[in-house]
Amino acid sequence: MSQYIARLGRRSPAAPPRLRLHRRPRRVAMLSVHTSPLHQPGTGDAGGMNVYIVELAQCLAAINIEVEIFTRATAAALPPTVDLAPGVLVRHVDAGPYEGLAKEELPAQLCAFTHGVMQAWAGHRPGYYDLVHSHYWLSGHVGWLAAQRWGVPLVHAMHTMAKVKNASLADGDTPEPAARVIGETQIVAAADRLIANTAEEADELVRHYEAERDKVAVVHPGVNLSRFRPADGRAAARARLGLPQDALIPLFAGRIQPLKAPDVLLRAVAVLLDERPELRSRICVPVVGGPSGSGLAKPEGLQKLAARLGIADVVRFCPPVGQEQLADWFRAASVLVMPSYSESFGLVAIEAQAAGTPVLAASVGGLPVAVRDGDTGFLVQGHDPRAYARVLRDFADAPHLVDRMGDAAALHARSFGWDRAAAATADVYTAATQEHRRHVRSHHG
């Protein structure tokens, strides 16, 4: 292998420099250890990152970069490989028990997962994968080793960071362990390039993890604009979902865990109805999603809270739904409410806006990039339910706000297409490949 790397570093000087320096990778090994791109977002550990990986991989394949996604097998009956789309292959790797393994227990399975990745690679000719792109810190550790072994660049996307999450924990949330902090620090040092969702995330990588500024590239995630679009409008979506036509419908969509703060929405609704009891007959609050992470300990906690607050009659709990139906929930809503404590980007905010719905969100993480405050929605500092209740009251009193902001939101979301994100990611791959070759040459020159 070292001879192969050495040969890579001593390319014939006759090769045209432009071609040699700017060649994009043809095939990328994408790693997603803890969550499968085939899983339903909004359940367990499946969320925005699943959507991100699926959409990005499909758009990369469309510009002739093949993607193989390695993920942990979570059932014995799963086939070893699944064709997700032309040019996108999902490989199921056996690592640990199929069922009931919490994300916190996965570090112990990284060795077995790495073994599975290496086995797949061993069946190919040398140089089969041109680059490794790992998602989340667990995958980063496998990616670090694989990239080193294969003599290829490592591109890593954090998605969330332990130090950032621990700095803004919700009540009752569990801090991220020291092992994760150490792991993330090692990956930041090892990666040829780091992809951040926003400029703020890039700053956090530099500030908290001492990332080299020129190794960090900002690529905004995209949205599937053919799926998330205003379509036939709010009234039709409400009719399909059996929702009242003239109601104020503040929607929560996502995993039910303290980090996402669905309780803040329920408390805000209770404050609103205390002040304006006449609104009770025309408000409906759907909560679409399943418990996850630290919310799994008390899966019925939110239902109990609704009953305690005396608003169980206006809250409707719905299990997670597929992307097509989620788009309908967004269209039907008056406003999507995202009171999260931490959010690396907030993909759901862009999806809702693309469907023509304004967003009321906490001003954290990437949400100030996703939402244009006062134009496509409202940003709130902090998590005081009264502040969210004030905005909900504005929507109740001025129903035209929903349509005006919804139109602006749909327009704003159009600049977040996945094709744009894939093109920017491909540029990061090219830069990482150049950097890697320079590094190899300096060691073998």
160 is in an annotated binding site: yes
First to last CA, the chain: 17
**How many Cα neighbours within 13 Å face the side chain of 323?**
22
Is 351 annotated to bind a ligand? Reply is yes
Strand 88-93 with 81-85, pairing: antiparallel
Mean pLDDT, to the nearest integer, of 206-210? 96
- The structure's pTM equals 0.81
- For residue 136, say whether it is annotated as part of any ligand binding site: yes
Q: Is 50 annotated as a binding residue?
A: yes
Residue 333 assigned as binding residue:
yes
| Element containing residue 75 per DSSP (H, E) | none
Q: Is 41 annotated as belonging to a binding site? A: yes
The Cα 314–Cα 302 span in angstroms is 13
Q: Which of 445, 443, 439, 372 is nearest to 193 (CA)?
A: 439
| Dist. CA 164–CA 142, nearest whole Å | 22
Q: How far is CA 258 from the centre of its chain?
A: 17
Determine if residue 357 is labeled as part of a ligand binding site: yes
- 180 annotated ligand binder: yes
Question: Is 260 annotated in some ligand binding site?
Answer: yes
For residue range 281-313, list pLDDT tens digits in order: 999 999 998 887 666 666 688 999 999 999 999
The reply to whether 116 sits in an annotated binding site is no
pLDDT at position 45 over 80: no
336, two tokens: 């999507």
45 annotated to bind ligand? yes
Cβ(284)–Cβ(314) below 8 Å = yes
34 appears as a binding residue in the annotation: yes
Among residues 119, 120, 148, the alpha carbon closest in space to that of 134 is found at 148
| pLDDT at 10 > cutoff 50 | no
Q: What burial class does residue 269 get, using C-beta atoms within 10 Å of its C-beta: 0-12 exposed, 13-18 middle, 19+ buried?
A: buried
Taking residues 10-22, report their average pLDDT. 40
User: How many C-beta neighbours within 10 Å does residue 301 have?
Assistant: 17
pLDDT, tens only, 79-120: 999 999 999 999 999 998 877 777 788 888 999 999 999 999
> Is 343 labelled as part of a ligand binding site?
yes
376 is in an annotated binding site: no
Radius of gyration of the chain (CA): 23
**46 among annotated binding-site residues:** yes
The reply, when asked if residue 365 is annotated as ligand binding, is no
Using one digit for the tens of pLDDT, what is the confidence trace for 19-35?
A: 344 588 999 999 999 88
